[in-house]
Chains A and B, each alone.
Chain A
Amino acid sequence: MIEATGLRKTYQRGHGRKATTVEAVRGVDFAVERGEIFGFLGPNGAGKSTTLRMLSTLLRPDGGEARIAGADLLRDPAKVRNNIGYVGQASGTYEQSNARRELVLQARMHGLPKSTALTLCEAAVKAFQLGDFADREIKTYSGGQRRRLDIALGVIHSPKVMFLDEPTAGLDPPSRARMWQEVRRLRDEGMTIFLTTHYLDEADALCDRISIIDGGLIVAEGTPTALKREISGDVVVLDMAAADTAGVVDPNLVMEAEKLLGEEPYVSSTEVIDGTIRMYVDSSATAIPHLMRTLLDNGIDPGSVEARRPSLDDVFLAKTGRSLEE
């Protein structure tokens, strides 16, 4: 449904002699199948939104090409627009307007006659349960209500492909769960969904497949399960802050502990993130007694030890050397 090859975008920042070139997207390839939720996971500034804006005809790529629902992005953007819906990070609705008025306008912007627009508006109000507030001014809506309207606007013309830019940023947990439900419903109705997110749990729970993007390049791609499986074994996280130090950690102590543990044969790799040491081991059950003994023998007393299955953050860390969590 979406095929992108070598998409690139560079920006000029500043003017004249002081101008610098920012390579926002440095050539990305991916393919999205019909009826799947495909996610771009990455930190802020990784090139997620730029890629999404190129695919939704808002930005002209500097290189590469893409086909969306059979239409060529560069040669026939008008045809692409007929087949796609887009929900940006900013809501894109008029504060003084209301949901019904915006839904009708949106349908009419897609070239539909007024009578059809009115029918579609009522159908959308029903499908997205906007009835309670559809005639109120948009400025009175909650964040979740706004977002639901945004999605309803994006799909009013039943597009084949839906682009969502950070659909749940800034929403409270119940509203996020509600949004996920709506996105899954659209997928189940046969729509193809491309979304960007910097939330690990969103990529994990909502997306059928993800690409991890960092610094304008795709560093990994696959289903969340397959990506996590690449990180074999378990993760052990040592928090070096002792209980009585209120979270203050001696960096020398952390370095020393990391060096000691990194030399242990059962530890395949280590990473230091703030005051914690993250270790990748075959089995946490057998590793923990060993590493505790090593630390205590050297007079180091860790604050806490936690064992868990690898997460997408471990995948991100393994691919980029940095953590997505802050």
Chain B
Amino acid sequence: MKLLRDTWLIYQQESSLLLRSKTMILFSLAQPISYLVLFAPFLKTTLAGQGADSYAAAYRIYVPGLLVAMGLFGGLFAGYGLLQAIRAGIIERCRVTPISRIGLLLGRALMHVTLILSQGVIITLAAIPLGLRVQPLALLAAYGMLAMMALMATSISYDLALMVRDQNTLGMMVQTTSQPISLLAGVLIPLSLAPLWIQIVALGNPFAWATDGIRALFTGHPGDDVVWQGALIITALAAISVVLSSKLFNRKIA
């Protein structure tokens, strides 16, 4: 109960401050839209080999990849905010109060998840006039997976941030790891186009499972095994990484 209240308190504070920052809002909207607009012209030709004979079909393959990329990149950069809050003494100030330690971290993480989800919604909405068609229930399920992915990436980013304690090092680590992870998840180009060895390596990448699951949902195959497999993997890993980052936060900070 106290955990819920305290998480909600921090969530409210973090998100209302984010909403007050007009530049942040502008940029977080501009990013997904620019992806869509600048990448759209490539889509039909690139994905023709995937049986995408129309823009609508191409977007069903491309938008899920974009969602995963946003969950991954957006989440992995969350550690920046945490380091900034540590440096400004905000975390210290909170820790001298009886507020729940996990709530302190979870409230921030959930704010990031909300931010990523709203970017996901914007991408989906923007793709509709371009020809995207998705079943509402499948879309909701896809958003659920996106939320879990964002939560996992955010927690991993917090872990890295707490271990290296330096924004530059964190930036470098995130840059170098997120690129191969997203490529190995088939975010931009589906893995079915990749050579066999890459497909085998990708079996160990939870984000690849999630991407495949979301793609199946978008292309109208919610009954595919990869949907529940991807959802299960990503939810379990999200739960584990939240527990781990709370533990690390308690050990390193509290």
Contacts and interface: CB of A to CB of B under 8 A. Distances in A.
Given A94-B17, A96-B20, A97-B17, A109 B99 contact: yes
Interface stretch (A79-87, A217-225, A250-258): A79-87
A233 interface: no
B88 A92 contact: yes
Contacts of B221: none
B176 interface: no
Contacts of A101: 13
Contacts of A109: 6, 9, 94, 97-99
Contacts, number: 62
A111 B99 CA distance: 7
Contacts of A78: 98
A85 B93 CA distance: 9
A94 B89 CA distance: 9
Given A96-B20, A96-B21, A105-B13, A111 B98 contact: yes
Contacts of B13: 94, 101, 105
Contacts of B94: 109
Interface residues of B, number: 19
B214 to A, nearest CB: 34
A73 to B, nearest CB: 13
Contacts of A93: 88, 90, 93
A243 interface: no
Contact of A96 (B2, B17, B87): B17
Nearest to B86: A90
Contacts of B90: 92-94
A57 B89 contact: no
Nearest to A159: B96
Contact of A57 (B21, B87, B95): B95
16 contacts: A57-B95, A58-B92, A81-B97, A81-B98, A85-B96, A86-B96, A88-B93, A90-B87, A90-B92, A94-B13, A96-B21, A109-B9, A109-B94, A110-B97, A110-B98, A153-B93
